[in-house]
Amino acid sequence: MLMAFHSVGVAAPQPVTGEDISAPGPKGLLKGTLTRAGKNAPVVLILPGSGPTDRDGNNVLGIKAGTYRLLAEGLAAQAIASVRVDKRGLGASAAAVTNGNDVTIADYVQDTRNWIASTQKQTGAHCVWLLGHSEGGLIALVTAAETPAGLCGVILASTPGKPLGDVVKQQLAPTPFAADANRVVDQLAAGKKVDVSALAAPLQHIFNPAVQGFLISAFSYDPAQLMARIKLPVLIIQGAWDAQVSVQDAGLLNAAKPDAQILIVPQTGHLLKTLSTNTPDANRAVAADPNLPLAAGIVGDVSGFIKKAASEKE
């Protein structure tokens, strides 16, 4: 699940060499990988999704798909550079904070601003593109709506179009825990922490007291309202078979900013890869396989969107 923390594929791009890059964090450096693509290449900053997701798009919960690594490699082949990052408190950015759970969306937005500045300094880019995946899309939206300085535009991949609390309710609706989940979400959305000790084990995990401060922060934002405030170019990418974020979410984002471009990718799941069938088993198989390429069209559409927008500014 999105909040559990907390077409035909194209040929896989060839691995490319990355270099270390860092940005200031609260107590130590934030770390990432810069993949260059030639002089004066546009630069994309890739913001990872929820939970312990690393710079490559993998996590200890069984995700090994390497989505962000594949994006970086594919974009480099299209002469577009990228920076992909470990979030504060995780991976090589573990020393940036004492407790990785003690975080808010505003903290991640500040980290994003720091990454934009560091990326500009190390690459010489006049501005940076944000590509946010899942929860990273919310962070991209907040960043672009509040402080667009240094940004070229935004790419939203598998990004909710409704408040994350509503997404959690939707995901848990088919379960026996739906009523309790709705009550907890409503309390967190109202800014109140909840005693979950008497709830079913899955809900105790999702609404772990250690992450409730983050959830309160995350539930306070409405992605569509943020989208309406963005004046920069925006591309929306949504898999038609995404089990976590729906085509309806992409529609809500597009309705909030009608001049945004939208790409609905057929037979594609949350990790931006083609599924053999629209089933949980197929999703699990894709999540566990780092060798599967991204779904056809994604890298090309991101590249085309960026290059077209850049040419229109010249």
Q: Average of pLDDT values for 222-226?
A: 98
Interior/surface letters 49-83, b for 16+ CB within 10 angstroms, e for the rest: bbbbbbbbbbbeeebebbbbbbbbbbbbebebbbb
The verdict on 34 and 94 lying in the same domain is yes
User: Which pLDDT value is given to residue 16?
Assistant: 66
User: Residue 17: its pLDDT value, please?
Assistant: 72
State the pLDDT at residue 206.
93
Q: Is the CB of residue 246 less than 8 Å from the CB of residue 271?
A: no
Q: Provide the pLDDT confidence category of residue 5 given band limits of 50, 70 and 90.
A: very low
- Strand boundaries in the chain, DSSP class E: 19-24, 29-35, 43-47, 81-85, 128-133, 151-157, 234-239, 261-265
Token representation of residue 155: 């790419």
Tokens of 47: 């913001």
Adjacent-strand bridge partners of 9: 295
Range of the domain at 23: 19-163+227-305
Per-residue DSSP letter, 243: S
The count of structural domains within the chain is 2
Locate 299 and state its tokens.
């890298």
Mean pLDDT of the chain: 92
As a whole number of angstroms, the distance between CA 88 and CA 103 comes to 9
269-310 confidence digits (pLDDT tens): 999 999 999 999 999 999 999 999 999 999 999 999 999 988
Asked if residue 14 is part of any domain, the answer here is: no
Which of 248, 258, 308, 288 has its CA nearest to residue 60? 288
Q: Assess whether 196 and 70 both reside in one domain.
A: no
- Residue 150 domain flag: yes
pTM of the predicted model as reported, rounded to 2 decimal places: 0.91
> Is residue 67 one of the residues assigned to a domain?
yes
Residues 79 and 191 in one domain: no
Domain identity same for 249 and 231: yes
| CATH label of the domain that carries residue 291 | 3.40.50.1820
Mean pLDDT of 171-181: 94
